[in-house]
Amino acid sequence: MSRSWLALGLSLVFLPWLGAQQGAVCHERVPHIANSTNGEVSWSLREVCCKGYEGTPGGCRPRCNPRCLHAQCTAPQQCTCDLGYETPSEQEFSNAGCQPKCHACRNGDCISPGRCRCWPGYVKSRKSLSCQPAPHLLQPAEQCELRCRSTRWQKYFSWSHLLSGRTPNTVPTCRQNQTEPCLQLDRCVCSSLSQRLICQDTAEKQPQQYVCSDPMDQTVENHPGLQTEGS
Ligand SMILES: *[C@@H]1O[C@H](CO)[C@@H](O)[C@H](O)[C@H]1NC(C)=O
Ligand SMILES: *[C@@H]1O[C@H](CO)[C@@H](O)[C@H](O)[C@H]1NC(C)=O
52 confidence band (pLDDT: 50, 70, 90): very high
Helix (H) or strand (E) holding 210: strand 208-212
Question: Is residue 115 over pLDDT 80?
Answer: yes
- The residue ranking higher by pLDDT, 211 or 162, is 211
Q: What's the confidence (pLDDT) of residue 231?
A: 36
SS3 for 194? coil
Give residue-wise pLDDT tens across range 147-170: 999 889 998 877 655 555 566 678
| Cβ of residue 167 lying under 6 Å from some atom of ligand 2 | no
CA of 204 to the centre of ligand 2 (A): 29
Within 10 angstroms of residue 61's Cβ, the number of other Cβ atoms is 16
| Cβ of residue 38 lying under 6 Å from some atom of ligand 1 | yes
Q: Report percent pLDDT > 70 for the chain.
A: 75
Cα–Cα distance between 185 and 192 in angstroms, integer?
A: 16
Dihedral of the alpha carbons of 218, 160, 137, 178, in degrees to the nearest 10: 80
DSSP string, 31-100: EEEEETTTTEEEEEEEEEEPTTEEEETTEEEE--SSPPSSEEEEETTEEEEPTTEE--S-GGGTTS--EE
Cα–Cα distance between 205 and 187 in angstroms, integer?
A: 14
Nearest atom within ligand 2 for CA of residue 175: 13
Question: Is residue 15 over pLDDT 60?
Answer: no
- The residue ranking higher by pLDDT, 89 or 21, is 89
Mean of pLDDT over the chain: 79
Determine the residue type at 16: P
- What is the reported pTM? 0.61
CA of 130 to the centre of ligand 1 (A): 83
| Cβ of residue 37 lying under 6 Å from some atom of ligand 2 | no
Determine the residue type at 155: K
Which ligand gives the minimal distance to the CA of 179? 2
Question: Is residue 197 over pLDDT 90?
Answer: yes
Contacts of 19 (CB under 8 A, 6+ apart): none
CA of 174 to the centre of ligand 2 (A): 14
Cα–Cα distance between 54 and 170 in angstroms, integer?
A: 38
CB 122 within 8 A of CB 190: no
